[in-house]
Amino acid sequence: MKITGKAHKFGRDIDTDIIIPAQYLTTFDPDELAKHCMEPLDDEFKANVAPGDIIVADENFGCGSSREHAPVAIKGAGIGAIIAKSFARIFYRNAINTGLPIFESPEAVDGISAGDEVSVDVVAGVITNTTTGKTYQTPPFTGHLAEIIEAGGLIEFTKKRVKG
């Protein structure tokens, strides 16, 4: 699977109250949540995202709350993948569980500027900055995580397990 789009750059410690403020946590509808995605930082975020665009952020992306509405809002806004220097732990799990591709690559983050055209080969873990021509390899998912991704998310994975 290949995701291609424009890079939206963010700094470090982008918290879940920025990704989706708590006042909107009265629904799990992706379209509804997407309307308010990143609102405290950028009112126009959703309007500026084309399907497949990619968030590129510094350390500790998604810190704070356990709200799964955060990856759901980001996906709902049309974002195809996130590349960050590091992710907060609960956000990382939530993204995997809800099928939002995420990649840790400090080099790629430093090598991508806002507005660059970026493509990500999700399975191979290869990030290409089409604007600069540079590529970055991220470690592939292994073990339990790979099984969850392969099954199509945690729910599908669990379904198979409970059926034995």
Q: Which of residues 103-142 bind another protein (CB under 8 A)?
A: none
**Residue 86 touches another protein, criterion: CB under 8 A:** yes
Contact residue for another protein among 53, 56, 60, 136 (CB under 8 A): 60
Nearer to another protein, 26 or 132 (CB): 26
Nearer to another protein, 49 or 96 (CB): 96
Choose the binding region for another protein from 2-10, 36-44, 48-56, 119-127 (rule: CB under 8 A).
36-44
In angstroms, what is the C-alpha Rg of the chain?
Answer: 15
Q: How many residues bind another protein (CB under 8 A)?
A: 42
Q: How far apart are CA 125 and CA 2, in angstroms?
A: 10
SS3 66: coil
Burial class (CB in 10 A: 0-12, 13-18, 19+), 70: buried
SS3 61: strand
**Residue 13 touches another protein, criterion: CB under 8 A:** yes
In the DSSP assignment, the letter for residue 152 is T
Contact residue for another protein among 1, 2, 28, 152 (CB under 8 A): 28
Reported as half-sphere exposure (CB side, CA atoms, 13 A), residue 106 has a value of: 4
Q: How far apart are CA 27 and CA 106, in angstroms?
A: 34
Q: How far apart are CA 56 and CA 12, in angstroms?
A: 10
Nearer to another protein, 123 or 155 (CB): 155
Choose the binding region for another protein from 2-10, 109-117, 121-129, 154-162 (rule: CB under 8 A).
154-162
Give contact residues for another protein (rule: CB under 8 A).
13, 15, 17-18, 21-23, 25-28, 39-41, 59-60, 63-69, 86, 88-90, 93-94, 97-98, 143-145, 153-155, 157-159, 161-162
